[in-house]
C-alpha cells in the first residue's frame, strides 16, 4: 500500500482532466461533434507512441545494447530484481551521454528496456545503482508508460480543442444562444496551461510510487536516497540540452535532466529531490544513508 495515496491522486488528476474536456465540449455546443475527430486522432497518436515507446526513447538517447560481459553489474542487479519480482528480464542499454541518468520504457514487462547513461554508471557505486535500477523496473511493472501516454493524449486533446475554440469560437447553448466569446477565449487560453500542470502532477506521483515500490523491491531505500543525492548535483553540473527529441524521454528519467528554476519548476515532471530523499529516509526509519 502506498503511504502517500499516489494511485488515488493520479485517479483524481485524471478526473480533473476529464472535467476540463467535458467543459470544453459544453462550451463548443453545436460543434461538439468535432470532439470525436480530436478523440480519434488522439487515440491513434497515443497508441502509436505507446506501442513504439521503447524504440523511440532508445533512439532519442542514441543508446546501444550491452552484453553481460560489457556491463556485468547491470545484468547481475536486473536479473536478481526481475526474478524477485517474478517478471521477465528487460533488455539493457547504455547511452553514451555523460549526463548521469537512467530510464525504463516499453509497453509491458515482456517488451521493456532499461537504459543507463555512461555518466550514471561512473557516478554511482553498485549499491546506489541497484537502488536506481529497482526504481526503473517498477516504472515498467506499474505500467507507468501507459499512464503517461494516456495523460499526454488527454493533455494534447485539451490543447487541440482549445486551439479549435481559439480560431472558431464556441458553439451555442441549449436555447440556441451564442456562448460568451470572452468565456470561450478564457477557456481556450487557460485549459492547455491547466492540462500541462496536471500532466506534470501525474508524472510526479508516478515518480513517488516508483521510489517507494523500487525501494521495497530492493529492500534498501537509503541506497536510492544516496543515488538521488548524487544525481541532484550530477544533473545540475551536466544537464542535457533541451532538444525536442529529448522532451518525451526526459519524463521517463529518474532525475530531471534539464535545468528548472523558479516558477518553471511547476512544469517539472519530477518532484523536488529533497522531498523524494525525505520520503525514502522516512521509509528507512529516519536513518541517513
Which amino acids are annotated catalytic? 136
CA distance 104 to 83: 17
Cα–Cα distances (Å) from 221 to 11, 116, 160, 214, 286, in that order, read 26, 20, 41, 8, 11
Q: CB of 151 within 8 A of CB of 199? A: yes
**Distance spanning both ends of the chain, measured CA to CA:** 24
CA distance 132 to 120: 10
Q: Enumerate long-range contacts of 33-36, CB under 8 Å, 24 or more apart.
A: 34/164, 35/161
Q: CB of 255 within 8 A of CB of 232? A: yes
Q: CB of 29 within 8 A of CB of 172? A: yes
Amino acid at each position: 500500500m502506498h503511504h502517500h495515496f499516489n494511485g488515488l491522486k493520479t485517479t483524481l488528476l485524471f478526473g480533473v482532466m476529464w472535467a476540463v474536456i467535458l467543459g470544453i465540449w459544453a462550451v463548443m455546443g453545436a460543434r461538439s461533434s468535432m470532439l470525436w475527430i480530436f478523440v480519434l486522432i488522439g487515440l491513434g497518436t497515443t497508441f502509436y507512441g505507446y506501442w513504439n515507446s521503447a524504440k523511440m526513447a532508445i533512439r532519442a538517447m542514441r543508446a546501444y545494447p550491452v552484453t553481460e560481459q560489457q556491463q556485468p553489474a547491470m545484468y547481475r542487479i536486473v536479473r536478481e530484481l526481475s526474478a524477485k519480482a517474478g517478471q521477465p528480464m528487460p533488455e539493457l542499454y547504455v547511452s553514451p551521454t555523460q549526463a548521469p541518468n537512467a530510464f525504463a520504457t516499453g509497453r509491458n514487462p515482456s517488451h521493456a528496456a532499461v537504459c543507463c547513461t555512461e555518466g550514471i554508471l561512473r557516478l554511482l557505486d553498485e549499491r546506489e545503482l541497484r537502488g536506481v535500477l529497482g526504481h526503473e523496473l517498477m516504472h515498467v511493472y506499474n505500467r507507468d508508460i501507459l499512464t503517461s501516454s494516456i495523460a499526454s493524449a488527454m493533455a494534447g486533446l485539451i490543447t487541440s480543442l482549445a486551439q479549435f475554440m481559439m480560431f472558431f469560437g464556441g458553439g451555442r447553448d441549449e436555447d440556441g444562444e451564442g456562448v460568451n466569446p470572452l468565456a470561450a477565449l478564457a477557456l481556450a487560453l487557460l485549459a492547455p496551461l491547466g492540462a500541462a500542470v496536471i500532466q506534470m502532477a501525474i508524472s510526479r506521483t508516478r515518480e513517488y510510487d516508483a521510489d517507494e515500490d523500487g525501494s521495497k523491491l530492493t529492500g534498501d531505500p537509503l541506497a536510492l536516497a544516496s543515488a538521488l543525492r548524487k544525481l541532484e548535483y550530477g544533473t545540475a553540473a551536466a544537464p542535457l540540452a533541451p532538444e525536442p527529441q529529448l522532451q518525451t524521454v526526459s519524463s521517463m528519467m529518474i532525475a530531471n535532466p534539464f535545468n528548472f528554476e523558479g516558477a518553471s519548476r511547476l512544469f517539472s515532471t519530477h518532484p523536488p529531490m529533497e522531498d523524494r530523499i525525505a520520503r525514502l529516509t522516512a521509509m528507512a526509519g529516519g536513518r541517513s544513508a
